[in-house]
Each structure stands twice: as C-alpha cells, then as structure tokens.
Chains A and B, each alone.
Chain A
Amino acid sequence: MTLLETDDLTVRFGEKTVLDGIGFTLAAGERLGLIGASGSGKSLTALAILGLLPEEAQVRGSIRLDGVELLGRGDRELSRLRGNRMAMVFQEPLSALNPLMRVGNQIGGPLRLHRGLSRKKALAEAISLAEQVGLPDPENLVRAYPHQLSGGQRQRVGIAMAVASRPALLLADEPTTALDVTVQAEILGLLDDLVTEQGTALLFVTHDLAVLAQVVRRVLVMGEGRVLESGSLETILRKPAHPYTRNLLELARAASFHRAPEAAR
C-alpha cells in the first residue's frame, strides 16, 4: 500500500529552481535512501514533505500522504499531521533541542499535543521512550537539559521525540553526520530496530554511501535538484548509470582509502 507519493514536485526560490520534478513512492513500512552531495536538494525534499519550506518558496506538483494531497493545505491542518503521522530526525542533535527545556518535556511534547496526554502521563511515556531508545537512567535523564547529555544521547532524544507518537513515516535528515563513527553505528542500529518494530516507513537522507548501505535497500540519487537515477542499492553500487553517481562512488572510495591508515593505528 502506498504511503507517500510525490509527483513532479518542483520548488523555486524566485528565479532559482531548487527541486525539479521530484517523483517517487514509498510504501508503508518501506525504506528509501536519498543520496546526493550538499545542495542537491535532498534535505529540501524532506522539508517539503513536512510543509516546512520557507515562506518565499513556490511549490508545485503533488505530495500525497495516505492518498491525501498535502500541498496547498493550511499550516494548522499540516501541524496535526506533523509529529503524528510523519516525524523527522534532524542532523544536529544539539541545535534541534531547545536548550532551556528539560529533555522529558521535549520527548513528551508531541504526545501532549497530539494525544492530549496530561503532563504526568506524558512524562511517564517519555521515560519509557527514553528507555526504548537506550538512554541510561531514564527517570533522572528526563529531568536533564540537552547540554548535559553527550552527542549520541542527544540524538537518541531526538529519535525518541520523533517516534513518540508512532508515526507512519519517519524522515531522517543525516541523523548520524554530526556523530563520531562508533556512535554512528549505534544510532543506525537503533533506527533500524525501531523502524522494523513499529512498521514505520523510513526516508533516509544522507551524503554518505557507507551509512546508507546499513539501513536501506532502495536508493534515489539526487543532484542539482533532480532525481538522477533510482534502484536497488546493489545495482547503484555495481552499475551506476549516471556519471554523477559514478563520481560519487569514486569519491567515497577515495575517502575510505584515506581513512584506512588512521583506522589501522
């Protein structure tokens, strides 16, 4: 069953076209990777789906969630879906958390908003979510402020916040880029488990092929605001059709070659 479908999605800022005819479908519980260099429009695609593009953006085309058109809907209607049917995990775990709000209130926020839970119940729920995402000592941790946590813990909080109301669609925008390699693997494992367990569809945005290979099987390669090619991860890795993809692969190999001596030490 199709959960998300975009068709000819085009976004312009004044004269500049930043997304050009993006079209793809995502079935319920399916995983799709969006890969491309910075500025290829992959993060914008995620924001467009949530309806969170800047006001001056002109959007055309179609985005359907559960068969219902999202484009042209009011902010109030969309905010009922955001954090409820669809949610997002951000790249920078520190800046994506309010520095003056206790972690528990941030995790429980969407629950109070969408399910009308009382403060007490939302906090209890936040504690169990914190436990679910592998945060240590959840009862005390929910009372901490974001700056008191490590980078990996903060991203776990971000994930807990996103999956709190069991969304059908989870958008992850470079969720591991700001973390060091060992923590990266843990966070990817966590996302993998949660998505499998909850049956959530995942749209995973990244520029890192190695990261992508750990979570998804199907890939969309983006460049300059367009979808350049799509297919299974294996096909893309073995027989990249587009020169842009080939270049991306070569750069990734070169990067891992440079990284190798360091890892050996």
Chain B
Amino acid sequence: MRRAARRWRTLRTVASAVVRRPTGAFGVAVAAVLVLAAVVSVWWTPFDPQATDVRAAWLLPFQRGHLLGTDRVGHDQFSQLLAGSRETLFAATGSASIAAVLGIALGVTAVLSPRPVGAVVVQAIDLVIAFPGLLLAMVLAAVYGGSLATVVAAVGISAGVGVARVSRAEIARILSQDYVLAARAAGASTGRIVRKHLLPNIAPTLIVQLSLVMALAVLAEATLTYLGYGSSPSTPSWGGLLHTQQDYIRVRPLLVIWPGLAVALTVLGFNLLGDALRDATDPRLRSGVRS
C-alpha cells in the first residue's frame, strides 16, 4: 500500500516535470489528441468515413458541415482522419511494446549470460540489424499479405533489435560503474543489482528510444500503407489517404496536406515527448534542486 503511494508520488513528479517544458507539453498534447481521436472514432465520427456521395464531392473546408472538405467520391476528410488515427495509434503502441520487450530481453541476455551465449546473441543482433526494417515489412507482407499486424511485427522486431544493441552497451556500461561495485561490496546480489541499480538507470535511455520507435512506427505505417503493403485500402488510414489523394494534388492540394500534417505532427510530438520524458526521469536533469 505504502509502496503504491510512493510510486504514485514519483509518477506525479515526473509528469509535472514533463508538462513544465513547452516541448514536453506539446508532446503530451499530441499523444493525448491521438488517443482521444482513436477512442472517439470507434463510436462517433461527424460523417460515416466510408460513405460515398457524389453530390457532396470536391467540397472545400467548412462547406456543408464538412470540416476539412471532401474528396472525389464525397468522403468526409475529417472523419477519415479520425478513423485513420486508430491505425496510427495501434502501430505506435504495438511496435513500441514489441520493441521494448524484445530489446530488454536480448540486451540483458547478451550481457549477463556466460560468454559464448552472449557472443551468439550479439552476433544475431548485428545480423538482424543489417536487414532494413522496411524491407522486412515488405517480405512479411509478401508472405503473409499486407496488414497492420505485419507492419507492427516488422517495425517491432527491427526496432527491438536496435533497442537491444543500444541497451546492451548501456547495460554493460552501467554494470561496470563504481556504484555497482560499491553495491556488491556492500553485499548486494545480482538480482538486487538488476532491480535497484540497472533498471532505474537504463529507464531514461529506454524511454527515449521507445518514443523514437513510436515516431518511426507512425512513419513506417504511413509509408507502407502508401506503398500498398499495409492495411487494405478499405480501412481508413493516413498513409492510405496520402496514396489516394496524391493524384489530385494539383486540383485540391489541401487533400494531401491534411494527412501529411497529421503524420508530421504526430512524429514530431512523439519525438519531443521522448526528450521531455528523458529529462524528467533523470533527477540530475529535472529542474529545481532539492524538493
């Protein structure tokens, strides 16, 4: 009970430190808007995002209640963006979860297991890293068919291996620190060292990496869907919008700008959120000296 209360207090300190910076506040706002849009769009969108209405085609923003206008077949662009945010959010969180679990597991195995095992893990990591993530996604899509799940798996695996390599070096660095030696000199066991000294010290770099993975996943999902390797064209998504609207870029440039802006803002938001989180989780970088 008391432990839960203490965790909660730490969480609040970190959260307020994130929001205190304008960049952090922007990142939090972007993430919040994305989550809100994804959740709301499950029950409500202003128009049916898939409904076609030729009489309502090529409308400009604010015409007849269409906030961002309509396209060639009368799709409400705002509704499409809202519905598409579900794909984006799932791609970001799914990939980051896979990357986190895979990255930490591989990193800790590589450092803490006996030398031959560790060496094999390191070699395997380097081998997989040499393989471009987008190519892996295309291969997976060719074998299993293009879908959001293939995109998430491909981004999660390739990013997870990258996380493993960076965190392996970081884990090795932390374990060679004097305070780990001091902790052992004070009688701490390996398990205690991992819990009390390794995980808290690796959390800041891990959080930054994962927010970058999220940004990368948003971009990869849009790219792959744009190229036709992602979810089917019937599912609204930001990459899919870019793909279908690019033919009319000279007639209605705004149609491309909305999904493009959505992707760009989301990627920027996750990147800034990551930076703010890193600063906030490290008491040395947190502003205000003694609380």
Residues of chain A at the chain B interface (Cβ within 8 Å): 50, 52, 75-76, 79-84, 87-88, 90, 92, 95-101, 109-110, 113-114, 140, 143-145, 147-148, 158, 161-162
Contacts and interface: CB of A to CB of B under 8 A. Distances in A.
Contacts of A162: 186
A204 to B, nearest CB: 16
Interface of B: 177-179, 181-190, 192, 196-197, 200-201, 282-284, 289-291
A80 B184 CA distance: 10
A145 B186 contact: no
A95 B177 contact: yes
A92 B181 CA distance: 12
Contacts of A158: 182
A153 to B, nearest CB: 13
Contact of B290 (A75, A140, A161): A140
7 contacts: A82-B184, A83-B187, A90-B178, A90-B182, A98-B197, A144-B290, A147-B284
Which label, helix, strand, loop or mixed, suits the secondary structure of the B interface? Answer: helix
A88 B178 contact: no
Given A79-B188, A101-B196, A148 B201 contact: no
Nearest to B190: A75
B178 A100 contact: no
Contact of A52 (B181, B189, B190): B181
B187 A79 contact: yes
B200 A82 contact: no
Given A83-B187, A98-B196, 10 more contacts: A52-B185, A79-B188, A95-B178, A95-B179, A96-B178, A97-B179, A98-B179, A98-B200, A109-B183, A147-B284
Contacts of B291: 143
Contacts of A114: 187
- In this complex, the member of A79, A97, A140 whose beta carbon has the largest number of chain B beta carbons within 10 angstroms is A79
B5 to A, nearest CB: 13
B283 A147 contact: yes
A100 B185 contact: no
Contact of A109 (B178, B188, B189, B190): B188
A92 B284 contact: no
Contacts of B178: 90, 92, 95-96
A162 B290 CA distance: 25
Contacts of B200: 98, 100-101
Contacts of B196: 98, 101
Given A96-B178, A100-B283, A148-B290, A50 B185 contact: yes
A92 B182 CA distance: 11
Contacts of B197: 98, 101
Contact of B186 (A76, A92, A143, A161): A161
Given A84-B187, A101-B196, A90 B181 contact: yes
B186 A99 contact: no
A101 B185 CA distance: 17
Contacts of B185: 50, 52, 82-83, 87-88, 90
Contact of A145 (B183, B184, B284): B284
Contacts of A92: 178
B60 to A, nearest CB: 54
A228 B252 CA distance: 88
A162 B185 CA distance: 9
A110 B200 CA distance: 19
A52 B183 CA distance: 11
Contacts of A81: 187
A30 to B, nearest CB: 21
Contacts of B184: 50, 52, 79, 82
A88 B290 contact: no
A161 B181 CA distance: 13
A99 B284 CA distance: 8
A75 B184 CA distance: 10
Contacts of B182: 88, 90, 96-97, 158, 161
Contact of A100 (B187, B188, B282, B290): B282
Contacts of A75: 189-190
A55 to B, nearest CB: 9
List 5 A-B pairs, minimum CB-CB distance, nearest first: A83-B186, A83-B187, A95-B178, A82-B187, A96-B178
Nearest to B203: A100
